[in-house]
Amino acid sequence: MTQRIDKALIAEQNDKLMPALLEDYDALARKLARQDIDIERITKQAELFQIAIPSWGTGTGGTRFARFPGEGEPRNIFEKLEDSAVINDLSQATERVSPHFPWDKVDDFKELKQYSDSLNLKWDSINSNTFQDQQDQQHSYKYGSLSNTSEAAREQAIEHNVECIKWGKILGSKTLTVWVGDGSNHPGQQHFQHAFERYLNSMKKIYAELPAGWELHIEHKMFEPAFYSTVIQDWGSNILAAMELGPQAKSLVDLGHHAPNVNIEMIVSRLIQFKKLGGFHFNDSKYGDDDLDSGSLHPYQQFLIFNELVDAQYRKQEGFNPNYMLDQSHNVTDPIESLINSAASVQRSYVAALLVNRPALTDYQLNNDALMASNTLKEAFHTDVTPILAMARARKGGAIDPIRTYRQSAYRATVAKQRPNSGGNGSGIV
Ligand code: AOS
Ligand code: ZN
Ligand code: ZN
Ligand code: ZN
């Protein structure tokens, strides 16, 4: 069974919404035609857009204070896959799932691969976890993992990452994402250079195990769980590490991992320029990390990031092939709804960025016409591309209004009966 949401239900809902969509789509087609933009070309690109679902995002998130589990939460990786299939059935933009080990407990990877195949899902980047201790773990990560002062702890963390690569090979993944919580909580606690040296030496051993065609993505984060310093605190340390390791190592940008007001789109540009942009963890935040759903607060920032990405695509920048993924904490919403919404929000930024008149923008930039350059971006950003997103979904068999169709399906109520002892991953960490 490949489809979790009944195709007939999607078709029935779409039939009701199609007449209004066609009107809006035609109106937008005429508006874009006046700007010399062929809507069909844009819709085709919208159809090709893909963003991965983080397996942990299908459970309810929480904070260190509390976690309020939702109804019918997935209890294991198989159920997380089922929820991911629902998201893809409706959005048609999320055919890949990114696992997190050992949170996603797997006894038989071949069986898991067969199951994901049966749901028409593919595997995205493998995430290792050396930021907390697991039961029966020999050496603690309390004082770090890949940069720990203890060689035994470092070796254990390296070994886990090497295992993640092995599992990823069975699943058909081609990327390992490494985020470590290593750092310090007190000035003087850690020798900055020596800690970074230890981290690099460990990463070199992991890098040496990367199969051909794989990438190693390094994720930076300025705080938490270490609150004074972290080993890979910003894109500077990130790109230095990626450059030190080699061409298969790239930097990953999680939107929530920067200091307030940091110009993330410019970081993206720098990483593109030096062929070091590995990918993204999309989310939004008011204060930090992944508190909010993508595009829920700073849609213009998200658009400006895509402006850089589309610009690189437009210039056919060498070595440009970033990976898109969501990484958010859904504390009060149904995670399936948040993930559907967020995938569409990121897709919206991409599509809007496709509308930027690039030759005109270049002209304004060369002539230092700041106002018109800015207006060129704003014109694209302010274009309501909703009909393009809806049409792209409908043409691929997805839902014109995915949230409405999801609610009509009563999927959550159905799984709530089948998954009574919901506990999520228990950690509340996302
Ligand atoms: C942690 O803050 C990072 O966002 C990582 O990507 C982490 O592995 C993931 O969010 C799960 O906690
Ligand atoms: Zn992340
Ligand atoms: Zn994060
Ligand atoms: Zn996260």
pLDDT tens sequence across 292-346: 999 999 999 999 999 999 999 999 999 999 999 999 999 999 999 999 999 999 9
* 179 close to ligand 1 (CB < 6 Angstrom): yes
Assigned domain for 149 exists = yes
List the beta bridge partners of residue 254: 281
Q: Whose CA is nearest to atom 11 of ligand 1?
A: 430
Ligand nearest to the CA of 285: 3
The residue nearest atom 6 of ligand 1, judged by CA position, is 179
Q: Whose CA is nearest to atom 8 of ligand 1?
A: 179
- Count the domains in the chain: 1
The H or E element spanning position 166 is helix 151-171
Give the C-alpha distances (Å, rounded to integers) separating 71 from 82, 89, 421, 423: 15, 21, 10, 10
Determine which residue's CA is closest to atom 2 belonging to ligand 1.
289
Q: ipTM score of the complex?
A: 0.96
Q: What is the pLDDT of residues 157-173, one digit of tens each?
A: 999 999 999 999 999 99
CATH classification at residue 227: 3.20.20.150
DSSP secondary structure string for all residues of 2-70: --SS-HHHHHHHHHHHHHHHHHHHHHHHHHHHHTT--HHHHHHHHHH---BEEGGGGS--B-SS-B-PP
Output the CA 193–ligand 1 centroid distance in Å: 24
Closest of 70, 45, 58, 54 to residue 256, by C-alpha: 54
For ligand 1, say whether the CB of 126 is within 6 Å of any of its atoms: no
pLDDT digits (tens, 9 = 90+) for 3-44: 799 999 999 999 999 999 999 999 999 999 999 999 999 999
Q: What is the pTM of this model?
A: 0.97
Q: Is the peptide bond before 225 cis (omega within 30 degrees of 0)?
A: yes
Output the DSSP codes for 311-343.
Answer: HHHHTT-TT---EEEE----SSS-HHHHHHHHH
Residue 423 lies in a domain: no
Instruction: Name the residue of 67, 219, 232, 255 to mutate for ligand 1: max ligand atoms within 8 A of Cβ.
Output: 219
Domain limits for position 323: 7-418
pLDDT of residue 1 exceeding 60, the answer is no
Q: Report residue 420's pLDDT band, with 50, 70 and 90 as the boundaries.
A: confident
At residue 289 the predicted structure's pLDDT band, cuts being 50, 70 and 90, is: confident
Residue 428 clears pLDDT 70, i.e. is over it: no
Neighbours of 45 (CB within 10 A): 16
Share of the chain above pLDDT 70, in %: 97
- What is the per-residue pLDDT across 149-208, written as a single tens digit (0 to 9) for each? 999 999 999 999 999 999 999 999 999 999 999 999 999 999 999 999 999 999 999 999
The confidence score (pLDDT) of residue 426 equals 46
Q: Which pLDDT belongs to residue 422?
A: 54
- Please identify, by atom number, the ligand 1 atom nearest to the C-alpha of residue 254: 4
Q: Is 295 a domain residue?
A: yes
What share of the chain has pLDDT > 90, as a percent? 95
Q: Does residue 182 fall inside a structural domain? A: yes
Does residue 221 have its Cβ closer than 6 Å to ligand 1? Answer: yes
In a domain, 27, yes or no: yes
**C-alpha 254 to ligand 3 mean position (Å):** 7
Q: Inform me whether the pLDDT recorded for 421 exceeds 90.
A: no
Q: What is the pLDDT of residues 47-60, one digit of tens each?
A: 999 999 999 999 99
The number of the ligand 1 atom at minimal distance from the alpha carbon of 56 is 11
Q: Is the shortest distance between the CB of 325 and ligand 1 below 6 Å?
A: no
Q: Which of 387, 379, 389 is nearest to 303 (CA)?
A: 379
| Residue nearest atom 9 of ligand 1, based on CA coordinates | 430
Confidence of residue 2 (pLDDT cuts 50, 70, 90): low
Task: With cut-offs at 50, 70 and 90, classify the pLDDT of residue 424.
Answer: very low
- b/e code 87-96 from CB counts within 10 Å (16+ = b): bbbbbbbbbb
Residue 430 domain-assigned (yes or no)? no
Distance CA 17, CA 404 (A): 11
Whether the predicted pLDDT of 212 surpasses 80: yes
Beta bridge partners of 325: 52, 281
Question: What is the atom index within ligand 1 of the atom nearest the CA of 252?
Answer: 6
CB neighbour burial string for 278-297, b if at least 16 within 10 angstroms, e if fewer: bbbbbbbbeeebbbbbbbbe
Whether 425 shows a pLDDT value over 70: the answer reads: no
Nearest listed ligand to the Cα of residue 99: 1
Tokens at 195, concatenated: 């800690």
Q: Which two tokens stand for residue 354?
A: 């496709």
- Ligand 2 center to residue 408 CA distance, Å? 32
Asked whether the predicted pLDDT for residue 429 surpasses 70, the reply is no
Q: Is 104 in the pocket of ligand 1 (CB under 6 A)?
A: no
Q: CA dist 405 to 7, 18, 21, 313, 386, Å?
A: 11, 14, 15, 34, 17
Q: Is the CB of 289 under 6 A from ligand 1?
A: yes
327 lines ligand 1 (CB under 6 A): yes
**How far is it, in rounded angstroms, from Cα 256 to Cα 264?**
10
Domain membership flag for residue 305: yes
Closest ligand to C-alpha of residue 178 is: 1
